[in-house]
Amino acid sequence: MKKSIVKEQFARLLMYLSILIVLILVTSIIWTIFSRGAKCLTWEMVTSLPGGGFYIGKEGGFLNAIVGSLYIVLASTAIGLIISVPVVFFLNVYLKTKSKLAYVARLAFDVLFGIPSIVYGAFAFTLMIYFGLRTSLLGGILVETLLIIPILIRSMDEVAKNFPRELLEASYSLGATRWETMNVVMRQIAPGIATATLLSVGRSIGDAAGVMFTAGFSDTIPTSLSQQVATLPLSIFFQLSAPQIEVQNRAYAAALVLTIIVLIISLLGRFITNRFSKHNLR
């Protein structure tokens, strides 16, 4: 057999192997969560607050954590997008390609991207002590916003870098200013914005370390920004560390709910992206 064909076959084998490994991992995770969580997941659990003794196996649910997580994720994603979209626009439209500022900024965001969330949590915690704040919904939102901004910026930036320059010229030549051209840029990079949003939602909804110091935990749904708030990952963490097997199973039920929320958000995101990207110049 020819050498090149052997190489080709070998590469193909490697690809199949990697797909297999990923599939096994994903299915085994989902299977573990599903097999242990589904049997004890009841309607009561997702619609009621923890009653007295919920964490030692008595009645109640984790609605507090579901709502708390959604509050934090939605608010931090919204604030994150408001901050990062103009940054991406500035990096790619206002600055020249070889700009030093853009280089330094991208490097900085790459570094921030890699910082573990516990460090963000500790950092925000120090700030909160300095300003005399207590653990609260506001603290949770802020730390998650800090955490996802680099993710949002870098993943949108990668898409925006490939933005066809001709489109900018087309818009300018009609007499549009750079700011007015934002409309065109936003539409063209809409799929990138959606992907970035999904990535950051996934990261922030699953983050336990950041909110541990800053958002605290509570058995009720917060009614103001200054109250403590429960989150799903922390709820999972607390239940999983209980000695009773039925409480541990509830942790898996909470994990199942978390997975389902992420799945719904992802599907929704894909659907919206597809509606937008049908107009895109390729």
Partner 1 sequence: MKRFLLRRFLANDSNEPFVPNEKFQHPEVASELVVDHFNLSIDGSPILKDVSVTIPANKITCIIGPSGCGKSTLLKSLNRLSDSIEGVKTSGDIRLGDTSIVNCSESDLVELRRRIGLVPQRPTPLPMSIFGNIAYGCKIHGVGGRRQLRRIVRHYLKVVGLWDEVKDRLHSPAVKLSIGQQQRLCLARSLAVEPEFILADEATSALDPVSSKIVEDLFVKLKEQYSIVMVTHTLRQALRIADYVIFIYMGEVIEVGDAQQVFKNPQHELTQKYLSGAIS
The residues binding partner 1 (CB under 8 A) are 96-98, 164-177, 180, 184, 187-188, 190, 278-282
Least CB distance to partner 1 at residue 222 (A): 40
For residues 159 and 195, the answer to whether their CB atoms sit within 8 Å is yes
What torsion do the CA atoms of 154, 158, 160, 162 make, to the nearest 10 degrees? 170
- Closest separation in Å from C-beta 244 to partner 1: 56
Give least dist CB 177 to partner 1, A. 6
Given the complex with partner 1, which of 106 and 178 has the nearer CB atom?
178
The first and second tokens of residue 192, run together, are 């990138």
- 5 or 166, CB closer to partner 1? 166
CB of 44 or CB of 169, closer to partner 1: 169
Tokens 């680099």 -> residue = 150
Q: Which two tokens stand for residue 267?
A: 């599907």
Cα distances (angstroms) measured from residue 278 to each of 191, 270, 272, 281: 10, 12, 11, 9
**What's the min distance (Å) between Cβ of 101 and partner 1?**
14
8 Å CB contact between 66 and 48: no
Least distance in Å: CB of 114 to partner 1? 30
When the beta carbons of 171 and 231 are compared against partner 1, the nearer one is 171
Do residues 137 and 71 make contact, with C-beta atoms less than 8 angstroms apart? yes
| 43: Cβ contacts below 8 Å, ≥ 6 apart | none
For partner 1, the closer CB: 145 or 195: 195
DSSP letter, residue 50: B
